[in-house]
Amino acid sequence: MEIVKTKVAIIGSGPAGLLLGQLLYKAGIDHVIIEQRSAEYVASRIRAGILEQVSVDLLEQAGVDQNLKANGLPHSGIEILTNGKKQRVDLSLLTKGKQVTVYGQTEVTKDLIQAREHAELISFYEAEQVQVDDFYSKPKVTFHYQGKDYQIECDFIAGCDGYHGVCRASVPEDKIKTFEKVYPFGWLGVLADVPPVADELIYVQSERGFALCSMRSETRSRYYLQVPLTDHVEDWSDERFWEELKRRLDPESREKLVTGGSIEKSIAPLRSFVTEPMRFGQLFLAGDAAHIVPPTGAKGLNLAASDIAYLSSALIEYYLDGSEQGINEYSEKCLQRVWKAERFSWWMTHLLHRFETESEFDHKIKQAELSYILSSHAGQTTLAENYVGLPY
């Protein structure tokens, strides 16, 4: 068995793990990344594409914002369609100049991988039989890689390996508590090389269910439909998807919609999930390993980024200043922000979707609530403050 010594072992090379690695590298802190998938697989995953300003700032701090600045689309507002009418929520006006940026998670991941390769940092892709052990005393990670057995001896383990990863699963049951809500529908998403139907995102509350008109660039669009969990991608031809989307849009948007062949199509289930705490001895959970939000509030990637902001700061403080304060406060600080984002994502999901058990009365109440929010400066401000991202 080959022994490798380092300060921080990062499990998972999604955006959370890669961003942590880049920030530690910039601070001169030795670390390695262990990933069970190939780099090509990680880079190709289609995910969310809305970045809060704090996430943009963190990528700038990490020195990986060149493509983001060149190709990201800053948005100062969103549109909400209800009762057949659209209304714009001016995010910048309501939040003293804050905005969001449309830039796909796939692109964020590629930028981080490229930066890591350029710096020639150690990464073990396609690692097999990954295990984390002794994280309450002397942490180590063992795995099989390219025909050899490895053991990483480290000070800390960062569990950035997602909902199905090994890190959370390795925590003793009596040390962890989880909270979960599973929603009775999914999002059917289509990616197509067609211009967006609007300059900003359109969130749709309709009699037929939720829809979202989004984009990845000025020539590539991402659209979503609420569908039953019993549906399969094979049930939805491109033609059927576009026809159903048109039924949920207003006449103006329907007229502007450009359709085309899909280049990716998938159905994602929706859930809310939180782990408490997020630290177990020398093991820290971050990103999807610790929490999941329904995508309605555009918080998934941004919550992962805020975890990494706290964790990177805590580790840098520990190694450069000898202080354990950030490490000791990591879980509490993260969870305060996590639960606020969970609340907002749950609220947006509840308000904009149709539930199977929902009566006509319930639907009318939702329409009235949304109508009130959109007609109230205080209501719009609450929505805008949460959407652009609460402060760390």
Strands 221-228 and 177-192: antiparallel
pTM: 0.94
Q: How many domains does the chain have?
A: 2
- Tell whether 212 and 292 lie within a shared domain: no
The pLDDT value given to residue 338:
97
First-to-last alpha carbon distance for the chain, in angstroms, is 42
Residues with active-site annotation: 75, 203, 295, 299, 387
- Tell whether 59 and 118 lie within a shared domain: yes
- Residues of the domain holding 247: 183-270+361-372
Helix axes 377-388 and 325-352, enclosed angle (nearest 10):
130
The pLDDT value given to residue 235:
95
Instruction: Band the pLDDT of 46: cuts 50, 70, 90.
Output: low
Task: Report whether 179 contacts 273 (CB < 8 A).
Answer: yes
- Tell whether 27 and 169 lie within a shared domain: yes
- Tell whether 119 and 156 lie within a shared domain: yes
Mean pLDDT taken over the chain: 95
Residues 315 and 29: their CA atoms lie apart, in Å, by 9
Give the model confidence (pLDDT) of 267-290 as tens digits.
Answer: 999 999 999 999 999 999 999 999
Per the model's pLDDT, the better-predicted residue between 392 and 30 turns out to be 30
- The two tokens of residue 140 are 């180590």
Looking up residue 37, the CATH number of its domain turns out to be: 3.50.50.60
Instruction: Band the pLDDT of 201: cuts 50, 70, 90.
Output: very high
Q: Is 226 a domain residue?
A: yes
Looking up residue 200, the CATH number of its domain turns out to be: 3.30.9.10
The pLDDT value given to residue 149:
96
Percentage of the chain with pLDDT > 70? Answer: 99
Instruction: Band the pLDDT of 240: cuts 50, 70, 90.
Output: very high
Instruction: Band the pLDDT of 265: cuts 50, 70, 90.
Output: very high
Give the model confidence (pLDDT) of 100-139 as tens digits.
Answer: 999 988 899 999 999 999 999 999 999 999 999 999 999 9
Q: In sequence order, what are the residues at sequence separation of 6 or more whose Cβ sits closer than 8 angstroms to the Cβ of residue 211?
A: 202, 204, 223, 224, 225, 226, 245, 248, 249
Q: What is the mean pLDDT of residues 208-235?
A: 95
Task: Report whether 168 contacts 179 (CB < 8 A).
Answer: no
Q: Is 391 a domain residue?
A: no
Q: Is 50 a domain residue?
A: yes
DSSP 75-144: ESEEEEEETTEEEEEEHHHHTTS--EEE--HHHHHHHHHHHHHHTT--EETT-EEEEEE-TTSS-EEEEE
Indicate if the pLDDT at residue 181 is higher than 90. Answer: yes
Indicate if the pLDDT at residue 386 is higher than 90. Answer: yes
Neighbour count for residue 264 (Cβ, 10 Å) = 11
**Residues β-bridged to residue 264:** 191
Residues 100 and 105: their CA atoms lie apart, in Å, by 14
- Tell whether 196 and 261 lie within a shared domain: yes
Give the model confidence (pLDDT) of 55-95 as tens digits.
Answer: 999 999 999 999 999 999 999 999 999 988 999 999 999 99
The pLDDT value given to residue 188:
97
Helices (H), the chain: 15-26, 39-44, 53-61, 66-71, 91-94, 105-118, 166-169, 238-248, 251-256, 300-321, 325-352, 360-375, 377-388
Q: Is 197 a domain residue?
A: yes
Indicate if the pLDDT at residue 351 is higher than 90. Answer: yes
Residues 180 and 296: their CA atoms lie apart, in Å, by 16
C-alpha atoms less than 13 angstroms from C-alpha of 192 in its C-beta half-sphere: 20
